[in-house]
Structure formats: structure tokens, C-alpha cells
């Protein structure tokens, strides 16, 4: 998958999703399946003298790393940009740049304010974090808090790339927990609500990855993510599948079900079951099942939306997981109807 704005992500080995997790994981299925395509570059793909498409020379990288520590802002910015470009397409360059000690000074530049230097530094770190060993190095260099600072205060491009870098670091299991316990969740939810489309996508990717850890789900709900996700389920917004996948994960806790119902998510989930993509239908059915199992009132609300015909269709023609979820919801309806009938007798 080509990503022309430096956001190429090498996916780790697929993890087996838990039954309570959306099966539409960007890490196990691939970011393109999750709906994240390449972006248009915001800076030139090369600059005069740039060697972004060639293997880097060791002495060049050492000089650039030294330049990152220069007292001259323009020198620091130029060095960060050059390292960003060198790390963009070359796996060998990512390894060499890390070995030359670029990661700590790049992390230091994240505190430089909403400048081109900060923007280039965060994007260079994103590119370096494509390498799994570099992920660990970036995390251990203390990047999480500076990335949160960028996420709150940087330019829109820097905020997007900070979100993408946090998402990359959250591939590391211990960092799913660590990041979830910081202010990152609130900052990501803010970007989900106020960012441009690219920013919303990057925020949703990071939140999805964090939501794999159970304790993070309540934090994501409490930060107000569900309202934004339901709004992003508008078919014209280009984020239906991503939003529904995250909603499905959040529906596995009671607070998530309450929030989905309160912000009017049930009718939109039913619409996705009826007219969404295969994965969208699967995850919407999963969320509706959690709602029905959580509360009889929610079950009645789902039923009132005319969901039975699309569920019957899904139980015959959906993915294996979608068929299973549809059948389970229909069974819930039968049980509730029989229970109501028994109480009336």
C-alpha cells in the first residue's frame, strides 16, 4: 500500500481478535481494509539535494543528526525534513537513522511549538516507527507525552501525524495500556470531532487500537467519542466502516451501550445492517447484539427500527460472523417476545 504523505505503515503479524472485538482491526486486516488509504503529500516528495529514494550514507545521517541539535531553527528544520524523507520509503534508511541516534533529538523537537520543525520531526518519527524495533526505541525515548503535546497544540498536519504515531506505538501491547492512561484519549477524541477528514481517520485508527484493551473502552466513551462516531456514520462522510468498527468495540461495555442509545446510534446501526459494506454489516450487527443483550429497552428500540428483514437477509447472505450475529439478535427478539407473552398470561 503506497502512502504518498509519509504515513506508510508496515503491519505486524495478525493477532487473533477476541470474540468481543470488532474483526475489522486495522492491524490484523490491514489499514486499507479498515478504510485508510494513501494521502496526498503536503510537502514535496523531494527537496534539492534530497536522497529520499536512495540508501543514505552513514556520514550524511550523522551530520543530519548533529544538525537536529543546532541552535539555528532553520538548520534543525532542514535536518528533520531530510530525515523524514530518507525514512519515508527505505527500510534500510530507517534502521540506519535510528542507529545514528536520531530518535532522541527528534523527540526533543516535538516541544518546539507549532512550527515546520515540529511537523517534520513528528512525521520523521512516524516514518521511523514503521520498523518494529524503532517503535520500541521511539516509545522508550519518552515520545508519548511530547506526542500528546503535538496532538493538542500542533498544526493540523502535525496533529494528524502525532495521532498516527501514537497508533503505531499502540501496536506494542504495553503501550496500549500506557497511552490509554494518559491524556492521549481525550486529545484523540477532540481530533475525531474537530479535525479534517484525514485527522479524523488518524484519530479513529489510534482509538481503535487502544480500544482493544478493555480498560481503555470506558475512557474512550467517557471522553465523548461515541457522539462523534455516530455522526461519522453518515454515508457521505467516508468513515462509516471505521466508525462502526470502533462502535462495535465500545458496545461491549455497558457505558458504551448507554452512549450509543443516548446519541441516536441505533437507527444508524440498523441502516448499516441494511445497506452497509460486508464488514460494516458485520460490525453493526455485533454492536446491535451487544445492545440487545445489555438491556431489554435497547432490544425493543432495535426492534422498532424495522431491523428484522435486513437481519433475516444478513443471516442468509452475510459473512460467517455476520450470519452468527444476525441469528443471535433474532434469537434475542424471540426470547424477549416469549418472555413478554409469558408475563401477560
Residue 103 is predicted with a pLDDT of 99
To the nearest 10 degrees (0 to 180), the angle between helices 91-99 and 116-128 is 110
pLDDT-above-70 percentage for the chain: 82
| Mean pLDDT on 18-27 | 44
pTM here is 0.84
What domains appear along the chain, each with residue ranges and CATH number? 1-184 (1.25.10.10)
Count, residues in the chain = 345
Contacts for 60 with CB less than 8 Å, ≥ 6 apart: 51
Distance between CA atoms of residues 102 and 72, nearest Å: 17
Work out the mean pLDDT of the chain and round it to a whole number: 86
What secondary structure does DSSP assign to 158-227, as a single string?
Answer: HHHHHHHHHHHHTTSHHHHHHHHTSTHHHHHHHHHHHS-HHHHHHHHHHHHHHTTSHHHHHHHHHTTHHH
* pLDDT tens figures, 132-144: 999 999 999 999 9
Amino acid at each position: 500500500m503506497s502512502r504518498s504523505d509519509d504515513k506508510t505503515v508496515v503491519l505486524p503479524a495478525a493477532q487473533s481478535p477476541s470474540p468481543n472485538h470488532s474483526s475489522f482491526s486495522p492491524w490484523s486486516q490491514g489499514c486499507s481494509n479498515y478504510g485508510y488509504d494513501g494521502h496526498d503529500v503536503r510537502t514535496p516528495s523531494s527537496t534539492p539535494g534530497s536522497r529520499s529514494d536512495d540508501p543514505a550514507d552513514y556520514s550524511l545521517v550523522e551530520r543530519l543528526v548533529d544538525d537536529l541539535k543546532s541552535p539555528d531553527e532553520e538548520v534543525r528544520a532542514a535536518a528533520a525534513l531530510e530525515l523524514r524523507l530518507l525514512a519515508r520509503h527505505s527500510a534500510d534508511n530507517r534502521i540506519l537513522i535510528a542507529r545514528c541516534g536520531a530518535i532522541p533529538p527528534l523527540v526533543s523537537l516535538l516541544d518546539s511549538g507549532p512550527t515546520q520543525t515540529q511537523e517534520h520531526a513528528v512525521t520523521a518519527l512516524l516514518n521511523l516507527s514503521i520498523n518494529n524495533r524503532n517503535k520500541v526505541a521511539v516509545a522508550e525515548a519518552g515520545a508519548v507525552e511530547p506526542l500528546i503535546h503535538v496532538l493538542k497544540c500542533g498544526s493540523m498536519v502535525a496533529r494528524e501525524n502525532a495521532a498516527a504515531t501514537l497508533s503505531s506505538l499502540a501496536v506494542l501491547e504495553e503501550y496500549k495500556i500506557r497511552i490509554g492512561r494518559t491524556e492521549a484519549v481525550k486529545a484523540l477524541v477532540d481530533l475525531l470531532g474537530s479535525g479534517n477528514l484525514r485527522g479524523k481517520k488518524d484519530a479513529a485508527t489510534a482509538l481503535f487500537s487502544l480500544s482493544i484493551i478493555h480498560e481503555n473502552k470506558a475512557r474512550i466513551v467517557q471522553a465523548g467519542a461515541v457522539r462523534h462516531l455516530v455522526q461519522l456514520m453518515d454515508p457521505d462522510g467516508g468513515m462509516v466502516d471505521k466508525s462502526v468498527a470502533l462502535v462495535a468495540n465500545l458496545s461491549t461495555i455497558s457505558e458504551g451501550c448507554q452512549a450509543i442509545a443516548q446519541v441516536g446510534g441505533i437507527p444508524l446501526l440498523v441502516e448499516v445492517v441494511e445497506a452497509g459494506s460486508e464488514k460494516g454489516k458485520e460490525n453493526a450487527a455485533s454492536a446491535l447484539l451487544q445492545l440487545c443483550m445489555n438491556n431489554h429497552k435497547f432490544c425493543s428500540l432495535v426492534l422498532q427500527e424495522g431491523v428484522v428483514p435486513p437481519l433475516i437477509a444478513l443471516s442468509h447472505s452475510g459473512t460467517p460472523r455476520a450470519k452468527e450475529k444476525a441469528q443471535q439478535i433474532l434469537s434475542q427478539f424471540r426470547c424477549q417476545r416469549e418472555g413478554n407473552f409469558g408475563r401477560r398470561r
